[in-house]
Amino acid sequence: MTEALGFDDVTFTYPDGARPALDDVEVSLAEGSFALVVGPTGSGKSTLLRAANGLVPQFTGGTFHGRVSVGGRDTLAHPPRRLADLVAFVPQDPGATFVLDRVEDELAYGMENLGVDPSHMRRRVEETLDLLDLETLRGRSVRTLSGGERQRVAIAAALAAGPSILVLDEPTSQLDPQGAEDVLAALQRLVHDHGMTVLLAEHRLERVAGWVDDAIGVDGGRVAQGPPADVLRKLGAGPPVARIGAIVGWDPVPLTVREARRFAATVRLPTPSPPARNGRGPVLASVRDLVATYGASEALRGLDLDLHEGEVVAVMGRNGAGKSTLLRVLAGVHEPSRGRVLVRREAPRPGADAALCPQEADDLLFHETVEREVRATLVARGETGDPGRWLDALGVAGLAARHPRDLSAGQRLLVAVASVAATDAPLLLLDEPTRGLDPPSKDRLVAFLRASADDGNTVVLATHDVELAAAAATRVVMLAGGEAIADGDPATVLGDSRVFAPQMTRVFGPGWLTTEQVAEALP
């Protein structure tokens, strides 16, 4: 089979890098492969992806040895624009890639540059709008889209140019479970029916492991390519079904719910006992008859909610369901148009009663070191306390002297959470705290949130990540159309859903949420 993308002995060091970001890399992707790039946060995944169309080293500088060839073209001899007809790239922050204003024009931009014939271009735009279900957004300004919508438009804009290789960096980080499923299904169709080659980096293995047929493991700049099951096993990573498979000793280790269910039939589990989680304390915050608008639309319509001390509440729902608006109202920075929000029977004081870690965690970071970043929060509330406590709690103590900008997206997120948590506000709010987080970092975040609730705080997280909700939450509130359509313990609310059920529920039935819970119950 023809090679679509090849890395030949590639070693690359950033201009100010102490050691190579890519170290002696050998990769060969056959035409029509659907390949996953996987590895811990900060391991060099983004560098590998950006080298695929020559952005590394052409835009970064640095020392580059070896050869990357795309469809037979050498990336050193051809600048990225000369590869634009072959390879398209969707970076981690999709909002920053938009050149034009209207969704439809944005889709056409790449084709205009390639000089595609106008009638052909028109047809391709329509097809792409349909493929990613963007027809209703075609006339919108890209600056007014939600995070999930922006992500889908960025993928569509890359696809519309008709590349034979598509490279994506965490393409589902802001998508709800159904939206992610739809995007991956669309990609697979292009792989199967049109021989497109897809290379994508993703931390949420439960979403992608079932779709890919090839994997590239990256760790500290070293790379190993192979079948997904082998690569994941070597990295000690995998979706929840693989984790449980490794514990039980299933062989081969399953990567999908379907594979795991075959083994699960042979396992006898007792009736699930609810996981031991902290109980409810008194009411900390109450929301009554809340109506709030976002832009021109009503984001929340008559919501009632009581949040108790000691709870970790996961607010879930599709893109645009009103999750972020609810968080901002709880934090006291978004004025509701009707109803009221009380924290300890008073209007919430932002930053004191309620602290919020925003979706764009980079909006917070401004100090030269991680340690000073957290100290800034302590100083602001007149404390001289030790930032180390917060850094330890989130497992970033080892990064205390580093500059936040030199960290990976996932590490920066943990630093932002530490800076927000250091307010010691009784109501801790987090908006989609998952971008760039690898599974170990996510485990640390979960442990921190649970410990924070055990100390009597209330944690509310808006998230699309069902595995995070299953692991961290004591309660799940499902929003749709600005109303709470389900509210209860995770086992009931998630177990009852086709879209939001975590993998353990899908394999072992309602009541089973996490691999730890299943592992303990195993005979």
Partner 1 sequence: MTPRPIHPGAWIAWATCAGAVAFVTTDPVYLFLLWAVSWFVYTNHRSDTDTARSFRIFLTGAVVAVVLRTALVFFGTISVANTAFSFLEGLRLATILVIFGTFNAVTDPFGLVRIAPRHFHEPALAAALALSIAPRTVASVGRVREAQRLRGLTVRGARSLPALAVPVLERGMDEAHTLAESMDARGHGRGRRSRYRPQPWTAASTAIAAAAAVAAATFLSASAGGWAVLHPQTAPLVWPAADPALIVATALLAVPGLIRSRRP
Q: Using CB under 8 A, which residues numbered 62 to 91 contact partner 1? A: 79-85, 87-89, 91
**Choices 11-19, 92-100, 391-399, 460-468; region in contact with partner 1 by CB under 8 A:** 92-100
Q: How many CB atoms lie within 10 A of CB 55?
A: 20
Taking CB under 8 A as the criterion, which residues in 213-242 touch partner 1? Answer: none
Instruction: Give the residue with the Cβ less far from partner 1, 80 or 509.
Output: 80
The DSSP string of 93-141 is -GGGG--SSBHHHHHHHHHHHHT--HHHHHHHHHHHHHHTT-GGGTTSB
Amino acid of residue 324 = S
Whole-number minimum distance, CB 455 to partner 1, in Å?
A: 18
Cβ closest to partner 1, residue 273 vs residue 297: 297
Q: DSSP secondary structure string, 347-385?
A: PPPBTTTEEEE-SSGGGT--SSSHHHHHHHHHHHTT---
Q: Which residue bears the tokens 């479970």? A: 177
Contact letters for partner 1, residues 302-341 (x by CB under 8 A): -----------------------------x-x--------
Scan residues 335-374 and list those touching partner 1 (CB under 8 A).
350-352, 354-358, 360, 362-366
Cβ atoms of 221 and 44 closer than 8 Å: yes
Residue placing its CB nearer to partner 1 in the complex, 141 or 273: 141
Cα-based distances in Å from 382 to 206, 375, 379, 424:
43, 11, 5, 12
Using CB under 8 A as the criterion, what x/- string covers residues 376-415 for binding partner 1?
Answer: xx--xx-----------------------x----------
Q: In angstroms, what is the minimal distance from the CB of 109 to partner 1?
A: 6
* Residue number with CB closer to partner 1 (23 or 360): 360
Q: What share of the chain is helix, strand, coil (3-state, %, to 5)?
A: 40, 25, 35
Q: How far is the CB of 352 from partner 1 (least distance, A)?
A: 6
If you write DSSP's letter for every residue of 259-304 in order, what string do you get? HHHHHHTT----PPPPP------SEEEEEEEEEEEETTEEEEEEEE
> Length of the chain, please?
523
Which residues 100-129 are close enough to bind partner 1 by CB under 8 A? 100-102, 104-105, 108-118, 121-122, 125
Choice from 425, 462, 484, 507 touching partner 1 (CB under 8 A): 425
Instruction: State the nearest-atom distance from the C-beta of 91 to partner 1, in Å.
Output: 6
The encoded tokens of residue 422 equal 């250091």
Range in contact with partner 1 (rule: CB under 8 A) among 180-188, 318-326, 422-430, 459-467: 422-430
For the bound state, the minimum distance from the C-beta of residue 522 to partner 1, rounded and expressed in Å, comes to 42
